[in-house]
Structure formats: structure tokens, C-alpha cells
Amino acid sequence: MPIYLYIDHGSVVHRLNPTVKVFALFVMFWSVYWVDHPLALLPLGALMIVLAQLTGAWPNFYRLRWLFILLIFFTTLAWMVFYRKGPALIDTPIIHLSRASLTFGLGRGLKLAELLATSVLFLSTTKVEEFTAGLARIGVPYRVGFAITLAFRLAPLFIDSALTVVQAQSLRGYDFNRGGPLERVKRYVPVVVPVFMGALRKANNMAMALEARGFGMSAMPTSYIDFPIRPRDRVAYALLIGLAAIYFLIYWTGYGSISAK
């Protein structure tokens, strides 16, 4: 099973300059930030579906499908507890189901799902090396950028190792789901200890291998990746600025808020 999200699909999005993609990440977050209403969020969702198709990123969405479903479902449910406005269809001491609470909750759920989808699209189309180079290009110090990208490289290794540990302990008859919430947290000790010890060892080995390959020799290493700004990147910048402006306008005119009818 692949441990990174990057899918070498060769789409036009893959070929964009990494700084454009870092900017796109920012624009998506910006656009999602300004609006609350699900209807205002839907065009962005549709755009992401188109991009997922274009970039061949569906396998990653499939891998994370439960995360998306749970995120939307539980966020919607949670806001029915806290957002107690509007005439209630169902009103209990815990759940307040109204058109307003449903709309607000669904909006929040969609926001989170779209932020996640943006990140998945970004990682599906951008190699970590490009990410590092893109960050360096916009002025982030090399070591900081490398540390961020190293986290992306390490996370799948640790998840993999955690899954193995869970398997090993469950085969020794261990039931992780026994007891109350506190008890359950404590029951993860047989997983946390081996994963943590393994992570320390792995991090140490990796640091050694990195230094042995010259990491740290120069504060500004050269880059094998050559990414000039091409016409398609300029077009992408223009489209992204347009998108950011449209979403700010939607906010400015009040169409993105929940009270908008």
C-alpha cells in the first residue's frame, strides 16, 4: 500500500509551479473562511470534485472516505447541541434541530470537509520536494520548510507502525474498547509505548542518515527542481485571485452568511 498521498498522474495541476499550489492552498482556506452557508460552500465543493477527477486523486479520497463522512455528520450533529437558534423541529435538552441549526451545522461540516479536501488535493498533486522548494521560494527558511515536509514524510511511517502495534497487541487478546472514556485512554498504553520508542529510534536513524548525506552543510542548498513561472501558472494565479475576490465579495454582500435567505 502506498504510504504517501502523492499520486503521479501528470495532470496540469501536477505541473503547476509549487508556489502556485501553495497560493492555491491559501486561497481555498481564505474562501472557505469567509462564508458559512452550505449553498455558498457548494461551488467550492463542486470545484474540488472536478479537480479530484482531473488530478486522479480519487484513491486518496476513497482512503479517507470515512473521515469525510464522520466529519460532516458529527459536526452537523454537534452544532445541533450548541447552536440553539430558530424555530425547533425537534427540541430536547440536548438536541435542538431547527432549520437554522441544521444549516449552520452542515455549513461547518462542509467547511471542515473542504479544508481537508483541499489538503488532500494539494498532497495528491505536490511532491514533498516541491512543497519544500515552494516554501523556500516564498521566503520560508530551508530548514523550517524541510521540517514541515519531513513531518509529511514521517506521519505515514508512524501510522503504519501504530497499525502494526495495534495488530500485535490485539493478537495477544487485548481489547482496546473496554471501560469508560478515561479507562479507554489508559488502555492505549500498550500501543503508545512501542510506537513512541519506535519513533524515537526511527527519528534518530533518519537524522543520522540525513546528516550522512550532507544535510546541514549549507543553509541554502541548491534545488534540483527547476520551476520557472510559465503562462499556465500566470493563468492559475489570475483564476485564484478571482476566486479569492469572489468569495470576499460574497462575504461583503452578506450572501455567504446563514441569515441570508
Partner 1 sequence: MDAVKPRGPHQALAAPDAREAPGAIGVAVEQGTAHPAAALDDVTFTYAGGDRAALSHVTFALGAGEMVGVMGASGAGKSTLVKCLNRIVPAFEDGAFSGVVRIGGRVLGDERVCDAAPIVGMVFQDFEAQLFSTNAAHEIAFAMEQVGMPREEIAARIAPALAAVGLIGFDDRDPTSLSGGEKQRLAIAAVLALRPAVVALDEPTTDLDPEGKAEVFALIRRMRSDGLSLVVIEHEAEELRGCDRIVILREGEIIVHGAPAEVMTRLDLLEDCGVHPPDLNRVLSLLGIAAHAASIDEAEALIRARYTNLPARGASIDSGGAPALADPLAAPTDDRASAPPIVAVRDLSFAYPYGPRVLDGVSLTIAAGEFVAIIGQNGSGKTTLAKHLVGLLAPAAGTIMIDGRDRAALRPAETAATVGYVFQNPDHQIFAATVADEVAFGPRNFGLDAAEIARRSDEVLRAVNLDTLGDRDPFLLSKGERQRLAVASVLALRPRMLILDEPTTGLDYREQRRMMALVGDLNRAGIAIVMITHTPWLVAEYARRVVLMRHGRVTFDGAVRTFLARDDLLAGSSFRAPEATALGRRFGVVALGPAELAAWIKGRA
Q: Please give the grid coordinates belonging to residue 93.
A: 435538552
β-partners of residue 91 are 96
Determine the interface stretch with partner 1 among 13-21, 69-77, 97-105, 224-232 (rule: CB under 8 A). 224-232
Binding of partner 1 at residue 200 (CB under 8 A)? no
Q: Pick one of 93, 177, 182, 217: the residue that binds partner 1 (CB under 8 A).
A: 217
Q: Which string of x and - marks every residue 1-20 that binds partner 1 (by CB under 8 A)?
A: xxxx-x-x------------
Binding of partner 1 at residue 167 (CB under 8 A)? yes
Q: What is the dihedral of CA 231, 233, 235, 240, to 10 degrees?
A: -170
Q: Please give the grid coordinates belonging to residue 46.
A: 463542486
- Minimum CB separation of residue 27 from partner 1 in Å reads 24
Q: Please give the grid coordinates belonging to residue 109.
A: 461540516
Residue 6, CA distances (Å) to 12, 152, 181, 233 in order = 15, 11, 36, 20
Q: What is the dihedral of CA 228, 234, 235, 240, to 10 degrees?
A: 110
Binding of partner 1 at residue 127 (CB under 8 A)? yes
Q: Pick one of 63, 85, 230, 234: the residue that binds partner 1 (CB under 8 A).
A: 63
Residue 9, CA distances (Å) to 46, 54, 91, 150 in order = 21, 9, 49, 22
Q: Pick one of 26, 223, 248, 251: the residue that binds partner 1 (CB under 8 A).
A: 223
Residues that bind partner 1 (CB under 8 A): 1-4, 6, 8, 59, 62-63, 127-129, 150, 153, 157, 161, 164-165, 167-175, 189-194, 197-198, 201-202, 205-218, 220-226
